[in-house]
């Protein structure tokens, strides 16, 4: 969440909080949380330090403590703790100094901290450009004197360095006796993972130039120890990109393989707290693994965790893991990443930590509407020596019949989970763009086409080979529907699901689930051998059993002498090539037509570039004059930039995808599927590529008022009619005038909305998990086409698909059911039921009708809560954000108020 909003509320009009970051201030053995804001006024910058609540939402949550002006007396350097191992995935320690005082901070790992430090660096660099024009910082004085009031801080401030003085009171008692020890520790820190001349003994170096400062503040970007890794850093240009490409092509000349053992573990803990030692699972190998990647699912099943992504279980299970790692080695925690109940923890032996670089972590939810994190994946990627490794921990859709939904979850994770690179100009990395991929988790594929008694009989005979033939995942892999190119070891252990909690007995509940191998470990890549693959029956905390696998993986390492020879030879060849000719390419075609483009239906065509010149070339799609990006928002070129070796070919996917933001103008005809892309060659010419197509108008992305005036399916209407309706949709008087002329009364509610709600009312009023389990993408396409064409009369697809289609319909409305102009009134009246009803009575009639119609339908659902497992909180959480969308970014407090507002209409007897 962006906490700069809370800081901005404490500032006066002329000051602006550019960026904020939460951090820890280190007072010897004491750690206190603070919020830092980089504040700008009249081209002067200062860091404001706030005490704060756990998550700062408004000015009431923060209290200004200190201000650090960014002047020539200011500096910030990264430091390595002598007691702790510096690991790439770990948090970043920096030492901030102003005048004679110092403050040590720990910033959280990730791109946001890198961005914050980059902005601080930019502000400091601006000061260095004009050392004779010292900033006066007169605007800061009012914050030191001000008391609580409008637009200023809440307390009278003591002179600068409250917090800094507190830190130095601890330090000064040690300096005289420990000065020699500090020097020794500074020397030792030079040999850690993040060594470079910029970081060596930062305390004694000072800041001698802008270039030194740039290096020092590039804190969260790992500085690698070999040249091959250095070439990916953003400060290197075209020439070095050429060298990098040639180095990658000739990697076999200077690298060799070394085997490392990687422990992969997965455990669905069913919302339980750790009740027993995890050593039988995590320390099951005779020798300690080099790397641990431990994944959990269903860490917390509470509604709070589901909707607010907050759980105390994270700390409990992390502690249980750290205590259960192999006792014969020492490990460093590199990274922890979590999405609701899906968590992945990455440990490495301490002696290997310095060889971990380019660390990133990402998450993707595949729950309802592709947003909820109850299902989805978390992943980490890193570079180990010279190999790129990706680890994915996923929890896919449940229930035996939903294997197609699981397949879709897998495809969504592969397409949507992307890692930002250290060089922001480079396109993100997908899962498959790694040398090695490990995929673990509760994949939820079941055993089908066998009765439960037959399954248990095969298990009792330990005939796992026969049983595996009925495994859905094996069948889907054999059909190449999922996990193409992945390998899974032989399964010679009994299914890991489902047991009675606390025992080894199969499920004795009323549902009597069929045993299944839900929990799986797969891999993709070369030079991988599985040492073991097994379950761990000794652990009884959950209704699942944990699974582990140890994979001996060949990792590429660099031979320094061979690297030097290869590097020098490449440089000589490039020097020769650069003088020969200008780059050029041949395009497969320059005109592309996309036929029948539909809402949320992906289309792609391939543009092939062949380098027919004498030298490698670099290409990029560039912006046209007066346009913010290189293409229209419904179009993407993937990749938008890249490099082509001499005689090489690159395929670029031109992808068209219309979503809620682009659909309204396309529906009305204000925009067309038309664009011109400009492909630019570095040191070469520009090529112009025409993209055109026809868009099929849809009820998705069309306003409520326009739909109420359409008696026929939208695709049967002339384009002129749709444009006329769109133009008058914001003018109620114009709409009434049109109605008078045509003497046709508009529909009370859109017929498309009625078709979906009526279908659900007739077929899904008692459906378990309705509005909580996603449908199939293919079925949504059929439902959309049915609504837009009027054929057939009844909606196709499952109830879950129709429910999701309804939510997507509401989400795509250009103006929400409660128009933006009424949003603030809703927040102000949320605690009073009668005021809430009054606000709804003021809505335009068609919006009022839709709101009341949906509320009545949801009340009917609640009458059947015993069957569908819905309650007021769940429905308010799902529907409030769709019906009462914020015109700006919605914070947590507003979200809760909209839910409270909507809950008044879900209680029995409400209108």
pLDDT tens column, 32-44? 889 999 999 988 9
**Could you tell me if 70 and 124 are in contact, meaning their C-beta atoms sit under 8 angstroms apart?**
yes
Give percent above pLDDT 70 in the chain: 84
Q: How confident is the model at residue 732 (pLDDT cuts 50, 70, 90)?
A: low
Residues 689-702: what's their mean pLDDT?
A: 96
Q: How confident is the model at residue 726 (pLDDT cuts 50, 70, 90)?
A: confident
Give percent above pLDDT 90 in the chain: 60
Helices 751-763, 799-812: axis angle to 10 degrees equals 150
Give dist(CA 304, CA 312) in Å, integer: 11
Lowest mean pLDDT among 204-213, 304-313, 817-826: 204-213
If you ran DSSP here, which 8-state letter would residue 545 be given? -
**Could you tell me if 821 and 815 are in contact, meaning their C-beta atoms sit under 8 angstroms apart?**
no
Give dist(CA 332, CA 335) in Å, integer: 9
Higher pLDDT, 380 or 889: 380
**Could you tell me if 619 and 642 are in contact, meaning their C-beta atoms sit under 8 angstroms apart?**
yes
Residue 833: the pLDDT is 92
Q: Is the pLDDT of residue 172 over 60?
A: no
Q: How confident is the model at residue 486 (pLDDT cuts 50, 70, 90)?
A: very high
Alpha carbon distances (Å) from 769 to 188, 202, 780, 859: 58, 57, 18, 16
Residues 579-596: what's their mean pLDDT?
A: 90
Q: Is the pLDDT of residue 220 over 70?
A: no
Q: 523 Cβ partners below 8 Å, 6+ apart?
A: 436, 437, 438, 439, 486, 487, 488, 551
Q: What is the pTM of this model?
A: 0.65
pLDDT digits (tens, 9 = 90+) for 15-33: 999 999 888 888 777 888 8
Q: Is the pLDDT of residue 191 over 70?
A: no
Return the CA Rg of the chain: 30
* Complete DSSP assignment for 379-423: EEEEEETTEEEEEEEEE---STT-HHHHHHHHHHHHHH-EE--SS
Q: Is the pLDDT of residue 151 over 80?
A: no
The beta strands (E) that lie in 255-375 are given as 255-268, 291-297, 331-339, 342-349, 356-365
Question: Dihedrals φ, ψ of 880, to 5°?
Answer: -60, -45
* Token pair 């007897």: residue: 909
**Could you tell me if 35 and 56 are in contact, meaning their C-beta atoms sit under 8 angstroms apart?**
yes
Q: Is the pLDDT of residue 236 over 90?
A: no
What tokens were used for 783?
């439902």
Q: 888 Cβ partners below 8 Å, 6+ apart?
A: none
Q: Is the pLDDT of residue 165 over 70?
A: no
Question: Dihedrals φ, ψ of 620, to 5°?
Answer: -160, 140
End-to-end CA distance of the chain: 36
Residues 887-910: what's their mean pLDDT?
A: 85
Q: How confident is the model at residue 93 (pLDDT cuts 50, 70, 90)?
A: confident
* Token pair 């055109």: residue: 692
Q: Is the pLDDT of residue 134 over 80?
A: no
Q: Is the pLDDT of residue 483 over 90?
A: yes
């Amino acid at each position: 969440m962006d906490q700069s909003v809370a800081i901005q509320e404490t500032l006066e009009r002329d000051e602006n909080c550019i960026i904020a970051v939460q951090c820890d201030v280190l007072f010897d053995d004491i750690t206190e949380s603070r919020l830092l804001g980089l504040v700008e006024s009249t081209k002067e910058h200062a860091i404001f330090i706030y005490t704060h609540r756990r998550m700062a939402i408004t000015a009431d949550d923060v209290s200004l403590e200190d201000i650090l002006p960014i002047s020539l007396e200011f500096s910030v350097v990264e430091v390595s703790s002598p007691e702790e191992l510096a690991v790439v995935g770990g948090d970043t320690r920096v030492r901030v100094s102003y005048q004679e005082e110092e403050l040590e901070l720990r910033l959280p790992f990730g791109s946001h901290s890198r961005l914050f430090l980059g902005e601080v660096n930019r502000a400091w660099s601006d000061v260095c450009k004009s050392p004779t024009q010292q900033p006066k910082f007169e605007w800061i004085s009012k914050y030191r004197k001000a008391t609580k009031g409008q637009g200023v801080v809440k307390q009278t401030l003591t002179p600068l360095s409250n917090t800094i003085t507190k830190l130095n009171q601890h330090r000064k008692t040690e300096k005289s006796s420990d000065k020699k020890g500090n020097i020794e520790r500074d020397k030792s820190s030079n040999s850690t993972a993040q060594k470079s001349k910029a970081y060596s003994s930062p305390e004694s170096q000072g800041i001698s130039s802008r270039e030194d400062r740039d290096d020092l503040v590039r804190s969260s970007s790992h500085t690698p120890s070999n040249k091959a890794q250095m070439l990916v850093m953003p400060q290197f240009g075209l020439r070095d990109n050429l060298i990098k490409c040639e180095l990658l092509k000739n990697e076999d000349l200077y690298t060799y393989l070394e085997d490392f053992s990687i422990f992969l573990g997965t455990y669905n803990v069913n919302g339980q707290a750790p009740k027993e030692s995890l050593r039988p699972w995590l320390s099951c190998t005779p020798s300690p693994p080099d790397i641990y990647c431990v994944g959990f699912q269903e860490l917390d099943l509470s509604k709070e965790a589901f909707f607010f992504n907050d759980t105390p279980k994270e700390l409990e299970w992390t502690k249980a893991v750290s205590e259960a790692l192999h006792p014969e080695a020492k490990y460093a925690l590199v990274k922890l990443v979590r999405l609701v109940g899906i968590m992945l923890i990455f440990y490495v032996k301490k002696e290997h930590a310095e060889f971990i670089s380019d660390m990133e972590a990402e998450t993707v939810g595949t729950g309802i509407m592709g947003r909820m994190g109850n299902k989805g994946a978390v992943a980490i990627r890193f570079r180990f020596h010279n190999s790129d490794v990706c680890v994915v921990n996923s929890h896919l859709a449940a229930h035996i019949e939903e294997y197609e939904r699981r397949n879709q979850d897998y495809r969504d994770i592969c397409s949507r989970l992307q890692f930002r690179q250290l060089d922001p100009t480079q396109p993100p990395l997908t899962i498959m763009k790694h040398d090695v991929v490990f995929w673990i988790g509760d994949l939820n594929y079941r055993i089908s086409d066998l009765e439960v008694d037959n399954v248990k009989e095969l298990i009792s005979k330990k005939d796992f080979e026969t049983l595996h033939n009925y495994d859905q995942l094996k069948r889907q892999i054999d059909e190449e529907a999922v996990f193409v190119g992945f390998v899974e070891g032989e399964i010679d252990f009994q299914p890991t699901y489902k047991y009675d909690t606390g025992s080894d007995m199969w499920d004795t509940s009323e549902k009597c689930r069929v045993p299944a191998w839900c929990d799986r470990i797969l891999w993709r890549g070369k030079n991988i051998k599985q040492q073991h693959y097994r379950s761990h029956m000794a652990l009884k905390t959950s209704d699942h059993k944990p699974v582990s696998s140890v994979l001996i993986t060949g990792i590429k390492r660099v031979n320094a002498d061979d690297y030097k020879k290869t590097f020098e030879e490449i440089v000589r060849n490039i020097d020769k090539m650069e003088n020969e000719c200008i780059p050029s390419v041949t395009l497969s075609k320059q005109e592309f037509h996309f036929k029948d483009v539909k809402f949320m239906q992906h289309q792609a065509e391939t543009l092939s570039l062949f380098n027919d010149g004498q030298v490698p070339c670099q290409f990029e799609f560039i912006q046209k004059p007066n346009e913010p990006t290189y293409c229209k928002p419904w179009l993407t070129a993937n990749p938008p930039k890249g490099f082509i070796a001499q005689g090489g070919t690159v395929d670029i996917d031109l992808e068209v995808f219309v979503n809620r933001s682009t659909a309204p103008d396309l529906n009305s005809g204000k925009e067309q599927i038309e664009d011109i892309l400009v492909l630019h060659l570095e040191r070469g010419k520009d090529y112009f590529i025409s993209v055109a197509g026809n868009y099929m108008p849809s009820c998705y992305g069309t306003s409520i008022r326009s739909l109420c005036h359409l008696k026929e399916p939208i695709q049967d209407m002339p384009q002129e009619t749709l444009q006329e309706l769109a133009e008058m949709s914001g003018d109620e008087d114009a709409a009434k005038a049109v109605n008078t002329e045509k003497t046709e009364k508009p529909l009370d509610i859109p017929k498309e909305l009625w078709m979906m709600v009526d279908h659900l009312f007739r077929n899904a009023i008692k459906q378990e998990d309705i509005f909580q389990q996603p449908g199939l993408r293919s079925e949504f396409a059929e439902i959309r086409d049915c609504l837009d064409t009027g054929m057939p009369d009844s909606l196709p697809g499952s109830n879950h698909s129709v429910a999701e289609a309804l939510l997507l319909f509401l989400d795509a409305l250009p103006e929400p059911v409660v128009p933006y102009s009424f949003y603030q009134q809703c927040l102000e009246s949320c605690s009073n039921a009668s005021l809430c009803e009054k606000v709804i009575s003021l809505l335009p009639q068609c919006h009022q009708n839709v709101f009341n119609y949906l509320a009545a339908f949801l009340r009917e659902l609640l009458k059947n809560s015993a069957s569908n497992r819905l309650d007021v909180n769940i429905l308010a959480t799902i529907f409030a954000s769709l019906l009462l969308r914020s015109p700006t970014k919605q914070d947590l407090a507003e979200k809760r108020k909209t839910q409270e507002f909507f809950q008044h209409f879900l209680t029995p007897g409400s209108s």
